[in-house]
Amino acid sequence: MPTVYITTPIYYVNDRPHIGHCYTTLLADAMGRATRLIRGEHRRPIDGGEVFVLTGTDEHAEKVVTSAAAHSMSPQNWADRNATEFRHAFDFMNCAYDDFIRTTEDRHKSKVVQYIRELQSRGDIYLGDYEGWFDESQEEYLTETAAKEAEFKSPVTGRPLVRRREKNYFFRLSKFQDKLLEHIRANPGFIRPEARKNEVLGRLKTELQDIPISRAVSSDPASQWGILMPDDPEHRIYVWIDALFNYLTVVDTGDRGRFWPATVHFIAKDILWFHAVIWPCLLMALGRDLPGSIYSHAYWVREGRKMSKSLGNFVTIEVLREYADKFTLDGLRWYLLTQGPMSATDADFSHSKFVEVYNAELANGIGNSTSRVGNMIAKYFDGVVPEVDPAGYGDWPAMVKAAVERFEAAIAVCDLPAALNEGVNLVRKVDGYINDTQPFKLAKTVDTDPAAKGKLGSILYNCAEALRAASLLLAPAAPQRMMQLWASWGCVPPPGVPLAELAAFGGSFALRFGGKVSKGEPLFMRADPAEPAPGAPPAG
Ligand code: MSP
């Protein structure tokens, strides 16, 4: 079976992690979990497993140097400290990653130098002149449009911009334009979602220019932070080029080579151009295979407003923690994964929506349904799974099979919300079935009607078994609570069994006749919409 390699952007360490970073890493985690579930793959790559999830931090940005200085720390110490914060954030979110790359690590730096040398020897990097509008007060170039908009003055200090020329190494991006276009057209899933692909295709109508991939090293410490160009200490490799290579450096070693090309790079719309244009062209220049898909989601906004430092309205880790404390971590993961900005449209982190979705799909959904069914089995069958005749399964095996197939098809195109919805729908079917068959009424007749007990058992078995299947489909988003359910129902999935077999209704891994179903703690307590939102942003 082909390997699966899922990545997230590597995040800048000058900022603290927030909902946006957690969201993309959560997508990668849930895709990884879903893929492992489908394949029955429980091993880590290090033990020979074939699914690899990567996240990490991008540490060579100039702003790392400035923010470190502002905190009286060395850039490396500052990076160490913040990289740890990212790790903690992802651990708190229960995101399972197989490796965490930091661009200041030697294993990364040495490979980047190797790739640059390779590009040089292939003739795709050359030394040229770069000319542009330079903001001396900010030590940065502005694009022609940005300079014009700012009336050729620094947008920060108002000082006049100067026309500056410097020697720079360039990558022959222009050379790969046609090949890239061909690839995008031949592989409809290469850039997702569709709207983002069209955006890239639109921009590719104009000719690509070669891009500078180095920055001059000066006496300014910020200009010295990074990886030097091979054999030329006057130039540092531009941070974006250094960063993009991370996806390759991590697996381009030993038996990890089997993971290239990546299956999907999850990113957001802000960094689409780098991933959908520059990165594939670099790979083509290196003669490497291109990733299967670049999935570029939109942004989280908060209560309808863009999150920004000036508004101070970020959904911070602290806010996320409060949500997890109140509504369970799986409740938080569920909301992010099902209501997040997977499409091209931004998604609103809205407290009322959170409570609505949490109640409808979790508390009143799988939570209520499993406790109702568990209670009835406790009450009418002493908590023991009744032995039933498979002839009474009715349409359930076919319905579960179809749900599993749709789940798998959705995961194949990274549509996590649609995949998870298959679990929700199965739960709804069980609720509908309970309403139609009224087992609690039937239970009242068992003393007088000898056939009633068998019928009741059959109904409850169908409910519980369908809920077991549903729980498997919900597990990539809600792994802890589903594990809790499996433990109390005695159906913890054994490792190494693919989903289709695991979920098969009444199959080898079905609820065992005579097995004990204990009631356990409720999975999700109902939330009160009237209670105030955790971590409400300051009014205004
Ligand atoms: N270091 C670069 C990426 C290099 S990848 C080779 C970078 N870092 S970043 O810290 O700014 O992270 C940007 C990413 O964080 C986005 O692409 C997205 O994954 C995530 N998000 C940041 N803010 C976000 C939202 N408001 N909403 C959703 N995700 C967002 O760019």
Paired sense of beta strands 228-229 and 232-237, if any:
antiparallel
String of b and e for 14-24 (b: at least 16 CB within 10 Å)? bbebbbbbbbb
Rounded distance from Cα 466 to ligand 1 centre (Å): 39
Which atom of ligand 1 sits closest to the CA of residue 279?
Answer: 6
- Return the pLDDT at 540: 47
Residue nearest to atom 13 of ligand 1 (CA): 11
Rounded distance from Cα 24 to ligand 1 centre (Å): 8
Type of residue found at 372? R
Type of residue found at 433? Y
CA distance 314 to 353: 17
Which of 6, 7, 12, 102 most suits a substitution to test ligand 1, by most atoms within 8 Å of the C-beta?
Answer: 12
Rounded distance from Cα 280 to ligand 1 centre (Å): 19
Which atom of ligand 1 sits closest to the CA of residue 341?
Answer: 28
Q: Among 138, 22, 135, 12, which residue's Cα sits nearest to residue 68?
A: 12
CA distance 277 to 171: 13
Which of 271, 317, 348 most suits a substitution to test ligand 1, by most atoms within 8 Å of the C-beta?
Answer: 271
Residue nearest to atom 6 of ligand 1 (CA): 244
How many distinct helices (H) and strands (E) make up the chain?
A: 22, 15
Rounded distance from Cα 268 to ligand 1 centre (Å): 6
Rounded distance from Cα 11 to ligand 1 centre (Å): 6
Residue nearest to atom 2 of ligand 1 (CA): 11
Rounded distance from Cα 267 to ligand 1 centre (Å): 7
pLDDT tens digits, 128-182: 998 999 888 776 788 888 899 999 999 888 999 999 888 999 999 999 999 999 9
Which of 10, 11, 274, 349 most suits a substitution to test ligand 1, by most atoms within 8 Å of the C-beta?
Answer: 11
Rounded distance from Cα 170 to ligand 1 centre (Å): 25
Paired sense of beta strands 211-212 and 191-192, if any:
unpaired
Rounded distance from Cα 175 to ligand 1 centre (Å): 28
pLDDT tens digits, 342-373: 999 999 999 999 999 999 999 999 999 999 99
For residues 445, 447, 452, 456, the Cα torsion angle rounded to the nearest 10 degrees is 80
Which atom of ligand 1 sits closest to the CA of residue 8?
Answer: 19
Residue nearest to atom 7 of ligand 1 (CA): 11
Q: Among 263, 300, 317, 297, which residue's Cα sits nearest to residue 91?
A: 317
**What residues have CB less than 8 Å from 12, skipping those under 6 apart?**
57, 58, 59, 61, 63, 64
Residue nearest to atom 9 of ligand 1 (CA): 11
Paired sense of beta strands 264-268 and 293-297, if any:
parallel
Residue pair 369/430 in contact (Cβ under 8 Å)? The answer is: yes
Show the low-confidence residues of the chain (pLDDT under 50): 540
Residue nearest to atom 10 of ligand 1 (CA): 11
Which of 8, 24, 249, 294 most suits a substitution to test ligand 1, by most atoms within 8 Å of the C-beta?
Answer: 24
Rounded distance from Cα 144 to ligand 1 centre (Å): 25
Residues with CB under 6 A from ligand 1: 9-12, 20-21, 23-24, 58, 243-244, 246, 267-268, 270-271, 299-300, 307
String of b and e for 394-413 (b: at least 16 CB within 10 Å)? eebbebbbebbebbbebbee
Q: Is-above-0.85 flag for pTM?
A: yes
Rounded distance from Cα 462 to ligand 1 centre (Å): 45
